[in-house]
């Protein structure tokens, strides 16, 4: 199909626009959370639902994408999703309570769930095999650049306009994207008349939702000492078991088991899951680290993260040229090396870390991520039959969404627990008998102010250690991905002729 496609350049532009709009919203609200927290009078754990509700909704709605695209057509489904996503974004921007915000973020996630798998399937269809590496590089820019540039754009909008504009900005982009898709994207005839496997979909959705709820509330409720957490864990485990039984026993499950017979896709799904844990987990921590520990204003924090996106863009276009010329496993190992090195460097951060080091580290980390995502997206579908691409892309995207949601919950939970433990350890040394602190000389008419100042500094140091501990866990997780790279089966493809050739 790739050779006779009309308006390939226009389709590519609007596909990337839709993908960027959806992935941008996974992180654009991060930097505006303190402002939303004040507007809604919400606690820290409550406001985090603004992030996780969106990701969980996208994860739940991703698996049916293959069936829906066959039943209603890719173009029609994508156009409907873009319209719904745009409307939901406006509703988020005018929300007056936390309950409304979470509800509309859920709607946003449900509508945007099909963007990534459908856009990936469309890009693979409209480009011939020898140009698919470059096509995945172009598409990967939209997928990766959104989450990375989200805090930068969100910081600027929050500081210069209002936090509501991190959602309202989707209105003009969504309208233009919808018009472009309606105009240029051709429809493929629907041939699927099978009934949808509602039981399988319901059990998987219940398993994902209960797991995320357990992870989000576990730290607050002291994990398995709480009946609620035990109940959520049992529901999640039982629902996932029923989903597996349904998958392996019914004639037409909504996810074809044949997809998992492809070794490359199965390994790539595990890889992208762990990579999403690292990427979105680190993004959820780096932003508050810059603001709370290093004291950056909201705009400065956003600008300090911008080079990460620049590095990713440069790497993606570079790797698009290298695909077909160099074994993708070497590209993946190079990206993992850069990623784990930057995470190791983050373990050495201090409370007065120079901004230049933060910027350089982000630039290198973004470059490493670019060398991971594009080769992984290419090799995942290298041996998968074209008839299974939509389902394979949906599973690939599902793993990315679930990994991101779990990563945020786990690392934020670890951060809270580690901060409390570190605060108790450090505070034990803050006594009138510690001559290095000379607390006795400071106490007097300003005793209350002095005590508050000391506690604030102790909390800052405790939080810093907790952040570094999280970065260290991420580093070890990155190293653990190396064996997965060696298991991939590579089919050497012809080298891409030139970047310009992709649009011919």
Residue 43 burial by CB count (10 A; 0-12/13-18/19+): exposed, middle or buried?
exposed
Tell me, what's the pLDDT at 437? 56
Q: What's the CATH code, domain 2-179+254-419+461-497?
A: 1.20.1250.20
Give the list of residues 6+ apart from residue 465 with CB closer than 8 angstroms, or none.
418, 422
Tell me, what's the pLDDT at 192? 53
Q: List C-alpha distances in Å: 225 to 218, 230, 387, 411, 475.
A: 9, 8, 47, 20, 30
- Strands (DSSP E) contained in 112-252 are none
Of 62-76, 196-210, 407-421, which gets the smallest average pLDDT? 62-76
Q: Is residue 194 scored above 90 in pLDDT?
A: no
Tell me, what's the pLDDT at 475? 92
Q: Is residue 498 scored above 50 in pLDDT?
A: no
| Residue 2 per-residue DSSP state | G
Q: Is residue 46 scored above 80 in pLDDT?
A: no
Mean pLDDT of 417-429: 81
CB atoms closer than 10 angstroms to residue 162: 14
| Residue 185 per-residue DSSP state | P
Question: Mean pLDDT for the chain?
Answer: 80
Per-residue pLDDT tens over the stretch 450-463? 666 777 778 888 88
Cβ–Cβ under 8 Å, residues 367 and 338: yes
Tell me, what's the pLDDT at 473? 92
Distance CA 440, CA 428 (A): 16
Mean pLDDT of 138-146: 72
Tell me, what's the pLDDT at 155? 78
Per-residue pLDDT tens over the stretch 375-395? 887 788 778 887 777 677 778
Q: List C-alpha distances in Å: 261 to 183, 201, 241, 384, 385.
A: 37, 20, 20, 9, 11
Tell me, what's the pLDDT at 360? 92
Tell me the percentage of the chain whose pLDDT exceeds 70.
Answer: 88
Tell me, what's the pLDDT at 337? 93
Of 39 and 445, more confident: 39
- Three-class SS of residue 231? helix
Distance CA 28, CA 243 (A): 33
Tell me, what's the pLDDT at 28? 78
Please give the torsion angle defined by the CA atoms of residues 478, 481, 482 and 484, in that order, rounded to the nearest 10 degrees: -170
Tell me, what's the pLDDT at 179? 92
Look at phi and psi of residue 41 and say left if phi exceeds 0, alpha if psi is from -120 to 50, else beta.
Answer: left
Q: 293: which 2 tokens?
A: 């520990």
Distance CA 151, CA 112 (A): 19
Please give the torsion angle defined by the CA atoms of residues 85, 203, 67 and 247, in that order, rounded to the nearest 10 degrees: 150
Tell me, what's the pLDDT at 85? 93
Confidence of residue 294 (pLDDT cuts 50, 70, 90): confident
Helix extents (H) in 347-486: 355-380, 389-427, 439-442, 447-480, 482-486
Chain-centroid distance, C-alpha 320: 22
What angle do the packed helices 198-218 and 227-249 form, to 10 degrees? Answer: 150
- The residue extents of the domains of the chain are 2-179+254-419+461-497, 197-253
Scan for tokens 């790497």, then name that residue: 315
Q: Is residue 3 scored above 80 in pLDDT?
A: no
Cβ–Cβ under 8 Å, residues 311 and 365: yes
Confidence of residue 501 (pLDDT cuts 50, 70, 90): very low
Chain-centroid distance, C-alpha 147: 6
């Amino acid at each position: 199909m790739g050779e006779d496609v009309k308006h390939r350049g226009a389709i590519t532009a609007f596909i990337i626009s839709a993908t960027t709009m959806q992935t941008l919203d996974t992180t654009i609200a991060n930097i505006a959370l303190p402002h939303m927290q004040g507007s809604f009078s919400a606690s820290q754990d409550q406001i985090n639902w603004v992030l996780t509700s969106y990701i969980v909704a996208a994860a739940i709605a991703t698996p049916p994408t293959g069936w829906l695209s066959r039943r209603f057509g890719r173009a029609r489904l994508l156009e409907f999703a873009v319209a719904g996503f745009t409307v939901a974004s406006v509703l988020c921007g005018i929300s007056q309570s936390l309950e409304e915000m979470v509800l509309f973020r859920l709607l946003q996630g449900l509508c945007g769930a099909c963007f990534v798998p459908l856009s990936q399937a469309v890009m693979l269809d409209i480009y011939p095999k020898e140009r698919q590496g470059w096509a995945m590089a172009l598409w990967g820019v939209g997928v990766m650049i959104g989450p990375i540039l989200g805090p930068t754009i969100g910081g600027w909008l929050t500081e210069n306009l209002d936090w509501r504009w991190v959602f309202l900005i989707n209105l003009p982009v969504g309208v233009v994207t919808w018009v472009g898709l309606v105009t240029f994207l051709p429809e493929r005839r629907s041939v699927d008349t099978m009934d949808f496997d509602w039981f399988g979909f319901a059990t998987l959705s219940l398993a994902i939702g209960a797991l995320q709820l357990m992870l989000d509330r576990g730290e607050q409720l002291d994990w398995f000492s709480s009946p609620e957490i035990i109940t959520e864990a049992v529901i999640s485990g039982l629902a996932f078991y029923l989903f597996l039984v349904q998958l392996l026993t019914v004639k037409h499950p909504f996810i074809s088991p044949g997809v998992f017979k492809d070794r490359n896709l199965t390994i790539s799904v595990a890889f992208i899951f762990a990579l999403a844990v690292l990427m979105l987990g680190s993004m959820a921590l780096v932003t508050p680290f810059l603001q709370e520990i290093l004291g950056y204003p909201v705009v400065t924090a956003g600008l300090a993260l911008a080079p990460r996106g620049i590095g990713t863009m440069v790497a993606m276009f570079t790797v698009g040229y290298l695909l077909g010329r160099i074994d993708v496993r070497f590209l993946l190992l190079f990206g993992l090396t850069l990623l784990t090195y930057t995470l190791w460097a983050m373990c050495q951060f201090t409370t007065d870390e120079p901004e230049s080091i933060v910027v350089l580290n982000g630039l290198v980390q973004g470059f490493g991520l670019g060398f991971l995502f594009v080769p992984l997206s290419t090799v995942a579908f290298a041996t998968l039959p074209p008839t299974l691409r939509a389902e394979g892309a949906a599973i690939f995207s599902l793993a990315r969404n679930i990994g991101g949601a779990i990563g945020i919950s786990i690392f934020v939970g670890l951060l809270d627990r580690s901060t409390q433990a570190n605060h108790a350890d450090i505070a034990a040394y803050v006594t009138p008998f510690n001559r290095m602190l000379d607390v006795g000389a400071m106490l007097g008419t300003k005793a209350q102010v002095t005590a508050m100042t000391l506690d604030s500094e102790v909390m800052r140091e405790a939080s810093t250690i907790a952040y570094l501990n999280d970065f260290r866990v991420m580093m070890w997780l990155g190293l653990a991905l190396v064996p997965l790279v060696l298991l991939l089966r590579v089919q050497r493809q012809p080298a891409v002729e030139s970047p310009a050739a992709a649009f011919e």
